[in-house]
Structure 1
Amino acid sequence: MKSLLVTLGFALTASVLPAHAADPLTGTLQKIDQANSITIGHRESSMPFSYYDDQQKPIGYSMDLCAAVVEGIKQKLNKPELKVQYQPVNSSNRIALVKNGTVDIECGSTANYLERQKEVAFSYSTFWVSKRFIVKSDTPYNSIDDLAGKPVVVTQGTDTALLIRKLNDERKLGMRIQSGKDHAESLLMVTTGRAAAFMEDDILVSSIRAKEQDPSSLKLLSDSFGGDPYALMFRKDDPQFKALVDHTLADLMSNGKADSLYSKWFLGPILPNNITINFEMPARLKELFVQPSDKASS
C-alpha cells in the first residue's frame, strides 16, 4: 500500500489499492485523467459540511474528506499537479450535475437513499443524521403537534420535503408546507415570521443556530424523526472510482484522521467568526467509523 500525506490542517493519509495500479482507467478516473482536472460539487451554506468562508472559498468537513480523495486520485494517476475546480450545487440540481458530468464528486450534505441510488452512487457513510424542527425561542412550540395548522418550511429538493409531507398526512396536522430555495432562505422565513418552523437534518439546523448573531433566539424542538447516512456522491456504475473513494475514507476512519476531522468541524471553533456547533458524534457514526458501510436508507 502506498500512502501520501496531505495537509488538511493536519496530515491526512490517502492511499490507493495496488491491485488497481495496472488496471486500464475507466469512467470518472479516465475522464479526470484526460481532462487533467477534477470538478468538486460543493454547497454554499451547508455548515459545517460544505459552505463558503468569508473569502468565498468552499470549506467544511465534506470538503476535507474530498481533499483526501483528490490526493488519492493524484497518486493513482501520477498527476501531482491535477487541477481542482469547484462547482456550487444545491438540493435541486446536485444529482443532475453529477449525472451529466458537470461534477465528478459531490462533497456536501447529501443523504444516501435507495431511491437516489437509481440515479447516482454513494461512498461509505460519512455522517448520520435525524430530522428536527427549528423555531424561534419566543414561540410556544415544543413538539410537532404544536405546529398543527401552522406554516412550516423545508428546503426544496431535499429528502426532508418528502418526510414532512408524510408526517403531515399520517398525523393529520394540516401544516401548510412551504419551500425555501436553500437553507438560508428557509431559516429567513422563520426569523421573519413567514413560517413557524423549519425542518431539516439535526446537524444542519444546529449549525444554522450556532452562526446566528444570537443563537439563543432559536431553539430545536424535542421531536426527532428518522435516521439517515450522509455520503459523498458520484456517478453510478463506476466501480473503479468508487473503490478509490471508499478505500480513502476507510483509511481515514481506521487511522483516526476521520475522528480528528470530526472534532475540527463539529466540536471546535470554525469559520466564520470562530463559532462552535458543539455537536457530539452520533453513536451510529462511531459504529460506521469502525465498520464502514455504504448501506442506504429506504
Structure 2
Amino acid sequence: MKIYATLFASVAALATAGHSTAFADKLEDVVKSGTLVCGVITGAKPFGFQDTATRELVGYDIDFCKGVAGKMGLQARVTPVSVEGRIPELRQGSIDVLVAALGYTKERAEQIDYSDAYYVSRQIVIVDEGSGIQKLDGLSGKKISTAKGSSSEQYLRQSVPGVELMSYQDIPSAFLAFVQNKVDGMALTDVAALQFKEKSPKKFEIVPDPLKIEPWGLGIAKGETALTAKVNDSLKALETSGEADSIYKKWFGAAGITRTFTIAPVTKYLAH
C-alpha cells in the first residue's frame, strides 16, 4: 500500500506542477524578466517600419510598445512578426503582447484578449481616379488586393459579395500590385492610403463608403487578466500625461491628420 500511496503522491505532484506551469501568470514572468517583448509588423508605415538611416524599427506601434513598457517599469524589446503570423506567435508565448496594427474583430477576440484601444482606424478601399465607383457594391466582380491575414481582408470578404480578393504577403506588396494594374483596387487603412498617396506614381481615390470603423488594441494571450489590467493602466497613464497625443502628432501631424479619439475600451468604438 505504501508503494501505491507514494506513486499516487508523485503523480499528483507532477500534475500540480504541470497545472501551475500551464497557467502561470504572464505578468509575473514579464516583471521577473524586466522586459516586455512586443510583436510588431514592419511593413506598415507609420505604424512599424525600418528607418533607412539608422536601420532601427520605428513607428507609432513601436513608440506605444516603449511607452507601455516604460509605465510598467520595464525595458521594451520589439520583435518583427508577419500579419498572418502575429496571433499564432502570441498564443505560442514567444512574445508577451502584440502592438501590431491589430484591429478588433469578433473572430480574433475568440483567440486572444484585447487591451483598450490605442488607435482607431477607418478601413477603406482605394480605386483608380475617375473610376466612378462610389459605393462598396460597385466593387463586386473587381480584383481588390489586401495584405494576407489583415482585417481589411476579412472586412472586404464580409462587405462585398462577388469581390475577387487578391491576398499579398504585406501591405507594400498589395499596393505595388495596385500600382502595376494587376488589381482594380486595394483595401487598407485610411492613414496608409494617405501615406501612399504622397509618393504614389498612380493617382487614386477613396471609395466614400468605409469598410469598417476599427479600434486597435494590444493583443494579449487569452486569460492573462493581470497583464491586460496592467497594460490598460499603462495606456491610461499615457493618455493622462499627454504622451499618447504626442505620439500621434509625431507620426500623423505632418500629414495634417487630427486625432479624433482617446484611449478607451474597444467597445466604445464598436457601434460605429
Interval of TM-score (by shorter of Structure 1 and Structure 2):
0.7 to 0.9
Deviation at 1:95, TM superposition (A): 0.4
Give me the identity figure in percent.
20
8 Å CA contact 1:50, 1:107 repeated in 2: no
User: Which of the residues 278, 282, 295 maps onto 2:256?
Assistant: 278
Q: Normalised by the size of structure 1, how large is the TM-score?
A: 0.74
Counterpart in the other structure of 1:265: 251
1:147-158 alignment, distance < 5 Å: 147-158=139-150
Instruction: Tell me the secondary structure at the aligned position of residue 156 of structure 2.
Output: helix
For the pair 1:254 / 2:232, whether they are aligned, the reply is no
1:142 positional shift:
4.8
Matched, 1:106 2:72: no
| Equivalence for 1:89 | 81
The AA in structure 1 aligned to 2:153 is A
- Please name the residue that 2:136 is paired with: 144
**Bigger Rg, which one:** 2
Structure 1 stretches (4+) deviating beyond 3 angstroms? 33-38, 136-148
Does residue 1:245 correspond to 2:231, yes or no? yes
> 2: distance between equivalents of 1:294 and 1:193?
36
Per-residue CA distance 1:109-130 (angstroms, 9 max, x = gap): 1112232122111111011122
Q: Which has the higher strand share?
A: 1
The residue number in structure 1 matching 2:123 is 131
- Is 1:221 matched with 2:207? yes
Match of 1:209 among 188, 192, 197: 197
Please state how far the C-alpha of 1:149 moved relative to its aligned partner. 2.5
Partner of 1:12: none
Asked whether the 8 Å contact 1:42–1:58 carries over to 2, the reply is no
Q: Distance in 2 between matches of 1:37 and 1:129?
A: 29
- The Cα offsets for residues 54-108 of structure 1, whole Å up to 9 and x where unpaired, read as 1332111121111011113336xxxxxx5x4332112210000111011111112
Give a deviation string over 1:166-206, Cα, whole Å, max 9, x none: 2222xxxx332211111011001100010010011222222
Structure 1 counterpart of 2:41, from 26, 43, 52: 43
1:73 equivalent in structure 2: 72
Find the counterpart in structure 2 of residue 21 from structure 1: none
Distance in 2, Cα, partners of 1:165 & 1:105: 27
Distance 2:155 2:105 in 1: 13
Distance 1:194 1:209 in 2: 18
Q: Which amino acid aligns with 2:178?
A: V
Is the CA contact (8 Å cut-off) linking 1:72 and 1:244 kept in structure 2?
no
Q: Does 1:197 align with 2:185?
A: yes
How much has 1:45 moved relative to structure 2?
1.4
Contact 1:143 1:221 in 2 (8 A): yes
Q: Give the CA RMSD over aligned residues.
A: 2.3
The 3-state SS of whatever aligns with 1:45 is coil
Structure 1 portions without partners, runs of 5+: 1-25, 76-81, 269-276
Q: Secondary structure at the match of 1:90?
A: coil
Task: Tell me whether 1:180 sits opposite 2:168 in the alignment.
Answer: yes
Q: Helix, strand or coil: the match of 2:67?
A: helix
Equivalent pair of 1:135/1:196 in contact (CA under 8 Å):
yes
Measure how far apart 1:35 and its partner are.
4.2
> What is the rounded CA distance, in whole Å, between the counterparts of 1:213 and 1:193 in structure 2?
13
Report if aligned partners of 1:42, 1:51 keep a CA contact under 8 Å in 2.
no
Q: Is the 8 A contact 1:132 1:199 kept in 2?
A: yes
